[in-house]
Every structure is written in C-alpha cells, then in structure tokens.
Chain A
Amino acid sequence: MTELASRPRHTRRIGALRLGVRSMVVAYLGAFVLLPLSAVLKVGFSKGLWGFAQAILTPDAIAALWLTLQTSLAMAAINALLGTWIAYALARVNFPGRTLVNALIDLPFAIPTLVTGVMLVVLFGPQSSFGLWFGEHGVRIMYARPGIVLALLFVTLPFVVRTVQPVLYEMDIANEEAAITLGASPFLAFRKVTLPGLWPAIRTGTLLSFSRALGEFGSVVIVSGNIPRRTLTAAVLIYGEIESGRPEAAAAVSAVLLAVAFMSIVLVENFQRGGLPRELA
C-alpha cells in the first residue's frame, strides 16, 4: 500500500468569503471597540500612575465615585427584590392586563434616558404634588439622592425581571404546590423551593443592572441637580471635566468606571456558565 498522504497544506485554506468576513469583523470590532478603549486608557494614564491618582483622588472625584457606587448598590438591592417580585407575579398570577404589563416592562429599553429624567422630575419634582407632600415631611426626592436611585431604578427595571422570568417559566409550579400540600405556607414554599433555583438569574440580572447604572447619564443629569460632592455622579463629573477642558482627568475617572463595569460583566459571564444547568434541574 502506498504511503497515504497527510492533509495537504492547501486545504487548510479557508474559503475566500469566510476569510473576508472574518477580517471585516475583526477590523470593525478592533477599530470600533479596541481603539477607543485604548485611547481612554492611554490618556487616563498619560500623566503616569501619579497623574492618574491625582485625578482620581480629588475630593470631587472621590465623592462622585462614592456616590455612584452607593446609588448603584442601593438601586441594585431594590431591583433584586422588586424585579423578582414582578417576575413572579407575571409568571404565576393570571390577572387581567397581564400581557400589557408584561410588554410595559420593556419600556425603559425604549424610552430615551433624557426623557426618563424629564418625566421623573415632572412627577416627583418640588413643584409636583408628590414633591410637595414629601417636602412637607422633610424628604427631597428630586435634586437629591432618592431621585438618583429612582432614575436608576427606572432605567434598569427590565434587567432583573427579564433574566428571572424565563427561569420561572421553565420551573414547574408543581414543586411549589407539592410543598404547600405538605404544609408549607405559600411564601415558605417560594423561599425554600423556588428561590434557590432563581438565585443565579437574580444574581445575573442584578449585576447587569448594577453595571448599567454605573455609567447612567441622561436621566441622572436631569434629576440629580448635579451638586458637586452631594449629587454629582461619576458620569456627570466626567462630562464636567471634558467641558472644562480637562480630558485627562475625565479619562482617569472613566477608566475607573470602565474597570468596575467590566468586572461586573466578567462576573456575569462566569456566573452564566456555572449557573444555567442548575436552574433547569
């Protein structure tokens, strides 16, 4: 038997079309994503590590970053709870208008963030009935932290709901019902039977909403009042620095925001890989 040839080099070639598409894709993403990112990082560190630290460690910047973190975390906690609640109500209770409410959940994805800010100010601002009532009790909603959290809640509403919903649909309600027939109260049944399976989805959704909230600008710039060190978030600070002609400082703060956001995304990716099989069990 003659020597059977091994695969010739030329067949390792890929079709011209495939190669073309691949290069186009790499070029597009490289130019559109990698390039801008490296620009920010380079400029942010253009004055070296020391310059970077200087830009970050100003009182305004520290306050802004801290405020951003606080408000985003507060929003994430509320969203985790209420988002799951909403998802549960939609999945388990058949009420009139359910389809409509379900569709409404996606509203924050559709509405411009600026318009969100405007709407919230109209409804909760100092001139409105809400604002006046709360004002009498010494609570300021708009142009204060609560307003920021409210805006963030609006903008990230779909994240938790939409990640938890599919998991709930997949789960068999029979498990909860079984627990109830065994003597558990409905809430206990939910806590012990359903909730464990929902954790990965809740975690993912919360992380997504958190990373989204970190960089939120359009609604926050309207509702917060932008008072430095009080209601000035990192994103608005960046805007201010750019307008004041300090791109390096802006880039430095941006780098911090980006880093935190990326970490959340990475966590989400990792969780998704480990989390999904369990839910379907």
Chain B
Amino acid sequence: MSIEVRGLYKAFGSYVAVKDVSFAMRPGEVAALLGPSGSGKSTVLRMIAGLELPDRGQIVIDGVDSTWQTAETRGVGFVFQHYALFRHMTVAENIAFGLRIRKVARPEIDERVKELLGLIQLSGFAERYPNQLSGGQRQRVALARALATKPKVLLLDEPFGALDAQVREELRTWLRRLHDEVRMTTLLVTHDQEEAMDLADRIVVLNGGAVEQEGTPSEIYDSPRTPFVASFIGSSNRLEGRIVGGRTELEGQDLGWPEHVEGATAETRVDAFVRPHDIEVKASPAAGSRGISAAVVRTTRLGWQVKMELQLPSGRTLTVQCGKEQADALGVRPGDPVVLQLRRAQIFAHGAAALPDLSGLGAAARDISGLGGSATAG
C-alpha cells in the first residue's frame, strides 16, 4: 500500500521532463505532487502507473520493484483528467471492466458494481452512457472504475482540472470523505495549491523536473525552503537586499537584525519573501525600531479584509493584508507615508537553493517576530 520513488529521470528526446525525483509515501496517506505546468509531475505519475518507463530510477510499489513492469500488471488505479471513460459502454460496464478482464464471476461483478455505484452516489445510473453524464458524474464513475479492482494505490492526474469551480469544490469534499472511508494510499497530481493543501497529508513540490520541498501543508506554507516554494505557495512579496557586516538590509534600509549571524561575514545578496499578512503597517516608526518606509498607493476593501498596495522608495510595490479594524485604526489614505515592520520573512541568499549555509541567519529568519518585538516599542 505504499509507494517509493527513487532518482527518477526521464527525457523525451532532448527535453528532460524529470531530472531527479525521489519521495516516499506512507500507507493510507494522501500525497500531492504540486507544481506548475512543465514541472514533470504528470510524467512522474504516469511512470508510477506504468504508462511511461523511466530512463533511470526506481519505483517500488508495496515493496515490489515495479520500475519496468508493464502497466497491465502493476495493480494501480488511475483517474485521468479527462475521465477516459469507455464511450461505448454503460456506466456499469465501465466500472465492471477491470473485473471482467480478471474473469471475476458475473454475480460477484454485479455485486461490486452495485456497491461502488452506491459509494459514488450514482445508484440509478448503471445503464447510462458517459455522454449522458455531467463532468462531475463522469469523474465519479472514473473513480469507481479505478477502485473496482481494489488496487494497491490510487493515482489521480489533475482529476478536477476539467471541471467548473463549483463542481471542483464539491468533488474535493467528496473525495476527502471517500478517502476517510476507504483509506487508500492516494497520490494526486495538481497545479492547484488550494486543492493540494485541502486534500493532502503531505505535499511534494516539483519544479523543472526536480523536488523543491516535501512536507505537510503547514510546513510548506510556513517554512518554504527554497525561493521557488516561497513564491509559488500562497502569495508573497519579494524584497531584495543584502546582508553586510552581520546585519540585514532590505530595500536599502537597515533593519538592524539579526544581531548576530554565523558564517556570513562577507556581503551576501539576498531575497526575502514576506507574506502579505506578515507585514505590519505603522503610521510612524515606534521609538528605537527600524522599519521600511513606504508610501500608500491604494487600499481596497475585500469583505472583512483590507488590501493595501504600498510603494517602496526603490519603486517596488508590496501588498499588505490586514483586518478592517486595524486598517481603520491606521487611517491612512493614498499618498500617506508609512513604516513597515516585518513580522516574519524567509530569507534566501542569491544562488542558494535552500538555507543550510545560513543556518544562523536561517534560524533567525524563520521567526523574527521576537527580534522585531524586542527592538521596537510596539
């Protein structure tokens, strides 16, 4: 019931789709392969299913090395983005397909089909044809078809990509409930972060055919380990700056922290990623603290939130999100000067894929609220 993937590499002619992908799944968990298009996530999934064969690497399904096994014998379940239902068979025949191939007895097949139809809540639809179903219904049938043969693992390739937003939401909820019931090891490929965060126990972020980060949704969101993850997941503002003489300077302004940095003595150029809700906006700097000065460009009301667009002296614009009450208390109007204090930022040295070299800085960077708090009056 588990999948392990090691060092996968696949090229199509001169185009390398998958450079080096390794990860492992635990039995019964839902994992998501998340990444932009071209990240190789679908290729990885298809290699696990056996629809493509890797050039190098290893795929272990349930303890068995299945790397070079044909798709027919792997015993996985697969759901396609565009359903791929057999157009000339009824819903019941579609679901029964895998069982008929395995020469299961007729009464057993009928029983299982009935059971699955109930599971996907389409009990009266056995004799319908795919072209008589809506997109959401078709995908449910596709799922039932994949589950019919009780596969070891379930693979989903952007399963809701072809559906309307509302149907997508419904099916997402439904899939979560289904998984709670069936507890099948599930690997899901998607480019939709919300979907991944919602459904998955663990997320593997892919970019350009390689793994950027692997972790729980919170880990990925709160502690991105690479600039790509920081900018891809959620929304972030990107600030440029440098670390010189052990102090951090962002957007030309010395922030005074951290107080000490191990290892980084020479000047290092860095990128900082800050979430819109991790920026505090103040009308004037509190005594003794340092912040980044900026000017308000525009404020927009979005329900109970307020979105503020601010411009820095360097010309860069930032987006800040805060509650309505805070914004009212601030009472700024477009053009007003303000001071920004960063509660939390992920700082990456230029050229560094992750943080290990700047462990001291990194530790400081992950949570500077303490520093900021101690250095400022409020």
Contacts and interface: CB of A to CB of B under 8 A. Distances in A.
* Direct A–B contact in complex, judged by CB atoms less than 8 Å apart: yes
| Range of interface residues on B (Cβ < 8 Å) | under 10
Contacts of B7: 1, 4
Interface string A1-45: 100111110010000000000000000000000000000000000
B53 interface: yes
B86 interface: no
Nearest to B57: A4
A7 B6 contact: no
B58 A7 contact: no
Contacts of A6: 55-56
Contacts of A1: 6-7
Interface string A236-260: 0000000000000000000000000
Interface string B35-60: 00000000000000000011111100
B75 to A, nearest CB: 18
Interface string B49-79: 0000111111000000000100000000000
A156 B53 CA distance: 48
B56 A4 contact: yes
A5 B7 CA distance: 10
A11 B53 contact: yes
Interface of B is mostly: strand
A6 B57 CA distance: 7
Contacts of A5: 56, 58
A1 B6 CA distance: 10
B23 to A, nearest CB: 14
A129 B257 CA distance: 107
Contacts of B58: 4-5
Nearest to B54: A7
A8 B56 CA distance: 10
Contacts of A8: 68
Contacts of A11: 53, 68
A7 B9 CA distance: 10
B283 to A, nearest CB: 55
A5 B54 CA distance: 11
B6 A4 contact: yes
Interface string B1-20: 00000110000000000000
A11 B69 CA distance: 9
Nearest to A4: B7
B6 to A, nearest CB: 6
Contacts of A7: 53-56, 68
Interface string B242-276: 00000000000000000000000000000000000
A8 B67 CA distance: 10
A14 to B, nearest CB: 11
Given A4-B56, A7-B53, A8-B68, 14 more contacts: A1-B6, A1-B7, A4-B6, A4-B7, A4-B57, A4-B58, A5-B56, A6-B55, A6-B56, A7-B54, A7-B56, A7-B68, A11-B53, A11-B68
Q: Which 4 A-B pairs have the closest CB atoms?
A: A11-B68, A4-B7, A6-B56, A4-B57
19 contacts: A1-B6, A1-B7, A4-B6, A4-B7, A4-B56, A4-B57, A4-B58, A5-B56, A5-B58, A6-B55, A6-B56, A7-B53, A7-B54, A7-B55, A7-B56, A7-B68, A8-B68, A11-B53, A11-B68
